Amino acid sequence: MSKQKIYVVGIGPGAYQEMTGAAVAALEQSDVIVGYTVYIDLVKEHFSDKAFLTTPMRKEVDRCVMAFEEAKKGQTVSMICSGDAGVYGMAGLIYEISERYPDVEIEIIPGVTAAIGGASVLGAPLIHDFCLISLSDLLTPWEKIQARLLGASQADFVICLYNPSSHKRHDYLQKACDLMMTYKSPDTVCGIVSNIAREGENSRIMTLKELRDTKVDMFTTVFIGNSQTKVINGKMVTPRGYKDV
């Protein structure tokens, strides 16, 4: 019987050169690549000999079932995610659905998540303790997101925000900034990066007060510094605390 296997592959921010060697190898070894339409478009030209299957956004369960059904046929399948498969990616859902498919082997291939990719563009904002918070309330109640924002701000974490805005959530970043300013200074150094490692990449550094009134989209990652974060030569830097610097 043919081996039944699914790779869950983090393809990084989007550019081929940002993918890990292990990610490239997994895709090369696969017969079928499954993913959200936008992510398939990012890899298609580099793996043109593969079969591709897509589903639109919010069809994540269908996408995972599709991957398992292909693996059951003896195909080696890669389920691709932007960034890292284990950070707001498909790794967890694949494992949940795998209970229905006990004969299918799963291997997770890590990738460069948006926090890491965006940090490299801005400078060095994540050098000290930081946390990731998604502002999407599709799967998490806003009350819980609000509590996390307040807790992380009070603890003086650097905060990286995923999914900061959408058509239905156009004012969520503004709400988040108001919450964070309960404990963070309005002058806290912040940064945004859009389209990380893709065409149209751009970044800006600003204060938390300025961030509050900044328009962002779902392809933007937002960084809010801690009380020590500063700007050095136009870059956002959070000191680790080394002496004699």
Query: Residue 12 belongs to a domain with what CATH number?
Result: 3.40.1010.10
Q: Residue 224: enclosing H or E segment and its boundaries?
A: strand 220-224
Considering only CA atoms, which of 132, 118, 116 is closest in space to residue 194? 118
What is the Cα 111 distance to its own chain's centre? 10
Structure token digits, residue 218: 């779902």
CB 93 within 8 A of CB 65: no
What is the 8-class DSSP label of residue 43? Answer: H
pLDDT in tens, 20-76: 999 999 999 999 999 999 899 989 999 999 999 998 877 899 999 999 999 999 999
My answer on whether 100 and 188 are in the same domain is no
Considering only CA atoms, which of 15, 10, 76 is closest in space to residue 41? 15
Question: What domain count does the chain have?
Answer: 2
- pTM of this structure: 0.93
My answer on whether 26 and 44 are in the same domain is yes
pLDDT in tens, 36-48: 998 999 899 999 9
pLDDT in tens, 140-168: 999 999 999 999 999 999 999 999 988 78
Neighbouring C-beta atoms of residue 219, cutoff 10 Å = 19
My answer on whether 120 and 94 are in the same domain is no
Per the structure, the complete domain to which residue 20 belongs is given by: 5-112
pLDDT at residue 106 greater than cutoff 90: yes
Residue type, 192: I
Q: What is the side-by-side strand order in the sheet with 230-232?
A: 123-124, 235-237, 230-232
Q: Residue 111: enclosing H or E segment and its boundaries?
A: none
My answer on whether 47 and 72 are in the same domain is yes
